[in-house]
A and B are shown apart, each in its own frame.
Chain A
Amino acid sequence: MSEGRIRALGLLSGGLDSTLAVRVLQEQGIEVACVNFHTGFCIQSHTGAMRNPKPGAPPPRHDALHAADKLGIRLHLVDIAEDYVRIVTDPKHGYGKNLNPCLDCKIFMVQKAMEMKEQMGFHFIFTGEVLGQRPMSQRRDTFPVIDRESGASGWLLRPLTALRMPVTEPEKRGWVDRERLHGFSGRNRKPQMALAAQLGVTDYPSPAGGCCFLTDENYSRKLQDLWQYRGSREYAMEDILLLKAGRHMRPAPGFKLIIGRDEAENHFLSGFAEGRILIRAKEIPGPLTLVEGTPTPEELTLACRLAARFGKGKELPEVVMVIERDGSQEVRTIVPLPAHEIAEGWYV
């Protein structure tokens, strides 16, 4: 490879650390481009995008894209969601506190970045990882595992924590000045914030913010529920999207309700009626409810009563519900379920 100008490819989430890692290398005159991987579980204000907007709140944004814009670098957005299924369903290194396969995830992403490095002629790759900052993937004993299993040993530089790590190839070859790298460690973000001020990085998301739905307890419980009642640890993109929307209730093993919580969410859910049963109250404001599974006729009545409970007609003696499935429509008059008949265990 011609050495010319040194070119590095970084993994960019758009958070403070990965943004700083870019700036540190830019300060050394290195040409930087980045990649951001879409797994399907990335938190990019999805809930905000589905719900009614909060008054005065700006629309959600893609943090990595905006960081790249500010940094003046090229960003490759790469969809790995399909390949990522095996990482979530069968992680070699197991899960963290919830269904987060952080170590396998990082190995997978670094491996993909290494493939891009080879194909696109970058000299090395880098991340914004900091030793001791994350309990599963950013530890002294897991960094070597990531490097080895991704095939990146020696070629993955971590500019923010490099002084605590063995010397990498870019440093040995004089492409990167080790003296101008950092030795941050631990969960305290103050050193990074000080560096951000020094480098003029001002617009970054909350430093403690999570980046993946799989680290979320509620989301993980819904995914466990999906796997348990399907009898398989598989999922489609539509499944993982719907786990982010609505109120999920399972009154019986054979069916589950996804109940919209506001007008915007109703609109979002209405696009997923195919292959599901759609329930809504006739002429009374209320949720749009999707039913997944195979409810018996009695269970479908229960689903209607439950859906009516969350609408404006919940105190009425009777509510007319419209049931749509497979292009046909049925009308059923029901009594909304009283609050005391809703079992706590139905909430997923």
Chain B
Amino acid sequence: MTTQPNPDLVVDARRLLCPMPILRAEAAMQNLPAGGTLAVRATDPGITRDLPAWCRVNGHRLLEIRQSGREWTGWVVKGGQEAAPPSPLDISGV
């Protein structure tokens, strides 16, 4: 078995349904510098499709998603400002 990435922050989104795991991940990213690694734990299988899409839309890098029973963990490296699609600023929580 390969080693797991070492995250700077972990989001526990277990038993939350879509889109809450992604909303929690988005909120947590505010507290990470570019290049920081976030781990997202979820039980909604939709995370396997939504996390990669969210990474592409926001310019983050998905390292991997691993399944363990009914849980999934995804590791994401926060993209730099230059990596994100054109947008003035993020105001999640408006």
Given the known interface contacts A74-B85, A77-B92, A119-B94, the answer about A38 and B53 at a Cβ–Cβ threshold of 8 Å is no
Q: How far is the CA of A33 from the CA of B88 in the complex (A)?
A: 10
Q: How far is the CA of A244 from the CA of B44 in the complex (A)?
A: 14
B interface: dominant SS:
loop
Contacts of B43 in A (CB 8 A): 267-268
User: Using a Cβ cutoff of 8 Å, how many contacts connect chains A and B?
Assistant: 106
Q: How far is the CA of A109 from the CA of B54 in the complex (A)?
A: 22
A62 in contact with B92 (CB, 8 Å):
no
B85 in contact with A61 (CB, 8 Å):
no
Residues in A240-280 with C-beta less than 8 Å from chain B: 241, 244, 264, 267-268, 271-272
Residues in B55-94 with C-beta less than 8 Å from chain A: 56-58, 70, 84-94
Given the known interface contacts A31-B86, A116-B91, A120-B91, the answer about A75 and B57 at a Cβ–Cβ threshold of 8 Å is yes
| Tier of interface size on chain B | 20 to 34
Q: How far is the CA of A272 from the CA of B15 in the complex (A)?
A: 9
Q: How far is the CA of A204 from the CA of B89 in the complex (A)?
A: 28
Closest chain A residue to B86, Cβ basis: A31
Q: How far is the CA of A53 from the CA of B17 in the complex (A)?
A: 15
State how many angstroms separate the Cβ of A1 from the closest Cβ of chain B: 12
B53 in contact with A62 (CB, 8 Å):
yes
B18 in contact with A44 (CB, 8 Å):
yes
A72 in contact with B85 (CB, 8 Å):
yes
Residues in A158-173 with C-beta less than 8 Å from chain B: none
Q: How far is the CA of A68 from the CA of B23 in the complex (A)?
A: 15
Given the known interface contacts A58-B49, A59-B49, the answer about A74 and B18 at a Cβ–Cβ threshold of 8 Å is no
Residues in B20-76 with C-beta less than 8 Å from chain A: 20, 22-23, 26, 43-50, 53-54, 56-58, 70
> Does B19 have its Cβ within 8 Å of any Cβ on chain A?
yes
B91 in contact with A69 (CB, 8 Å):
no
Q: How far is the CA of A61 from the CA of B52 in the complex (A)?
A: 11
Closest chain A residue to B50, Cβ basis: A62
Contacts of A60 in B (CB 8 A): 18, 44-46, 49
Closest chain B residue to A49, Cβ basis: B44
Contacts of A75 in B (CB 8 A): 57
Q: How far is the CA of A186 from the CA of B26 in the complex (A)?
A: 37
Q: How far is the CA of A73 from the CA of B46 in the complex (A)?
A: 21
B91 in contact with A77 (CB, 8 Å):
no
Closest chain A residue to B25, Cβ basis: A77
Q: Which of B22, B47, B56 makes the CB contact (< 8 A) with A77?
A: B22
> Does A45 have its Cβ within 8 Å of any Cβ on chain B?
yes
State how many angstroms separate the Cβ of A75 from the closest Cβ of chain B: 5
B22 in contact with A65 (CB, 8 Å):
yes
State how many angstroms separate the Cβ of A102 from the closest Cβ of chain B: 21
Name A residues whose Cβ lies closer than 8 Å to a Cβ of B.
31, 33, 36, 38, 42, 44-46, 49-50, 53, 58-62, 65-66, 68-69, 72-79, 112, 115-116, 119-121, 241, 244, 264, 267-268, 271-272
Please name the 7 residue pairs, one residue from A and one from B, whose CB atoms are nearest each other, closest first. Answer: A59-B45, A271-B15, A74-B87, A61-B49, A44-B18, A60-B46, A69-B53
Can you name 28 A-B residue pairings with CB atoms under 8 Å? A33-B87, A44-B17, A44-B18, A45-B18, A49-B45, A49-B46, A59-B48, A59-B49, A60-B46, A62-B19, A62-B49, A62-B50, A62-B53, A65-B19, A65-B53, A69-B56, A73-B85, A74-B85, A74-B87, A77-B26, A77-B92, A79-B92, A79-B93, A115-B94, A120-B89, A121-B88, A267-B70, A272-B15
